[in-house]
Structure 1
Amino acid sequence: MYILTGFLVLFAFQRILTTHFHFGYETDKEKLNKKTGGLGAFIGMTIHSFFDGVSIVAGFEVSGELGFLVFAAVLLHKVPDGLTISSIVLAAFNDRKKAFVASVVLASATIFGGALVWGLSHTGFGAEVLGESFARIGLSFSAGVFPYVAATDLLPVVNQSENRKAGLYVLLGVAVFYAASWVVGVVGLE
């Protein structure tokens, strides 16, 4: 239920509350104002970063193995996220200070998301909702975001590509995930 809720909340956010911005083959230049696009990307990536923090701490609350895997996955895309938001804000506002602040806000949103889950899970306030631990709900909710992003952003780009390697990279990514999960289990981080 919470995975579906996460999926639908992102759907509602991108389709009802804001404009869903695509860059690349789907860009509609008439609808995309630089500043509006930059602000929309900043808001979306800040929410994404918040749920990165939620996912990391909730993963550790569920198990050490899961927490380590989520942490590694988030860590691998934090540098590209920082570069992406800095580039978008710099292009939209032509201001290096705003670009730097945007990347600091993204990092802070991750820390805030993790701190919120940790605080709710360890203070007793909100530790359980409807008989479920807050950490499991947070992890399930944020897990629902990933199928949405894969279905609406990743797979359409892969399917539009003339390059067959793009599909192989998707399969390789899944294989790397399962191999990493196995290694973490063997090492004993469970």
Structure 2
Amino acid sequence: MASDVFLFIFTVLFLNTLIGGVGVLSFLFVKKNLSRIAFILMSFSAGTLLGGAFFHLLLHSLEEGHAPLDEILLSTLFGFLVFFIFENYLHFHRCVECKIHPYTYLILIGDGLHNIFDGIVVATTFIISIPLGVATSIAVLLHEVPQELGIFGAMIHAGQDKTKSIIYPMLAQSTSLLGGVLGYVFFSSIEQYAPIFLPFVAGGFMYIASADLIPEIHKSEKWQKIEGILALFLGLAFMWVLKGVEG
């Protein structure tokens, strides 16, 4: 039975890793308007990051009720500041002469941390009940598809080449396998840190969206700006709808 559960966990998280390269399916035959599509997906990513932070990560922490509100808020602020300091310490922010904007690496770091927790959640729910694990896995996979598409678009928009824009998100997704192992081995004690860990990731997502992605919308031309704003709200709306599906 234990081996069957581990096989379920590994299979789901391996599929979750492959989703990191889903952008290639959309862009494989795209030759024209790539920069425009990348801008729209970058804006969509800003919406999914904000929606993921507010509608999922923070709400989950609050609903669990295992941490006081002030600790959740402090953890969120700490995550925001850590991403801010990390970016500025490496002289990444608003690098005019850089061909590739390094905020893409911050997105991958935040996504990797988030995927560790996803792996923990998938593993622990499968241990409790296989049907519960299957339902949770579907929610996780649905959650990742739009976000990974947005990350692909954000990386292309920032100047990264298509190959790395496919491979790097897959590497970030692979951290879910680490989370799965942790959840499988230590599931009885590891979830107690979720109410603090999730707000930290949420704070990082807020920083990336507000400091790096949304300013790109501000700098765009009139009609492109409208497209960006609509894409941002579409990303928010999708994450809100997904919240209802997960519920």
The match for 2:200 among 120, 131, 141 is 141
Residue 148 of structure 2 aligns with which residue?
Answer: 78
Shift of 1:111: 1.4
Taking the TM superposition and a 5 Å limit, the aligned residue runs for 1:1-190 are 1-21=74-94, 28=96, 31-32=97-98, 34=99, 37=100, 40=102, 43-44=105-106, 46-58=108-120, 60=122, 68-79=138-149, 81-82=151-152, 88=159, 90=161, 100=163, 103-112=166-175, 114-124=176-186, 127-128=189-190, 133-161=192-220, 162-163=222-223, 164-185=226-247
* Partner secondary structure for residue 19 of structure 1: coil
One-letter amino acid of the counterpart of residue 216, structure 2 = V
CA displacement at 1:11 relative to structure 2: 0.7
What whole-Å deviation, never above 9, does each CA across 1:66-98 have from its counterpart, x for those lacking one? 8755542322233554576589454xxxxxxxx
Cα distance in structure 1, aligned partners of 2:218 and 2:113: 27
Shift of 1:178: 1.9
CA distance in 1, matches of 2:188, 2:91: 29
Mapped contact 2:108–2:172 kept (Cα < 8 A): yes
Return the TM-score normalized by structure 1. Answer: 0.60
The answer (yes or no) to whether the contact 2:109–2:172 under 8 Å persists in 1 is yes
Deviations 1:48-77 (A, max 9, x none): 442242253355569978875554232223
What is the distance in 2 between the residues matched to 1:9 and 1:166?
27
* Aligned AA (2:172): A
Residues 103 and 212, structure 2, Cα contact 8 Å, conserved in 1: no
Distance 2:232 2:204 in 1: 17
- Segments of 5+ residues of structure 2 without an aligned counterpart are 1-73, 126-131
Letter in 2 for 1:15: N
> How far 1:152 sits from its partner (Å)?
0.9
**1: distance between equivalents of 2:237 and 2:153?**
27
Equivalent residues of 2:75, 2:199 under 8 A apart = yes
Q: How many aligned residue pairs are there?
A: 162
- TM-score, normalised via structure 2 length: 0.49
Q: Which structure is higher in helix share? A: 2
Superposition RMSD on alpha carbons, in Å?
3.9
Q: Percent identity?
A: 23
User: Residues of 2 paired with 1:146 and 1:72: CA distance?
Assistant: 18
Q: Compare relative contact order (CA 8 Å, sep 6+) and give the higher one, 1 or 2.
A: 2
Q: Matched residues in 2 for 1:84 and 1:166: separation?
A: 12
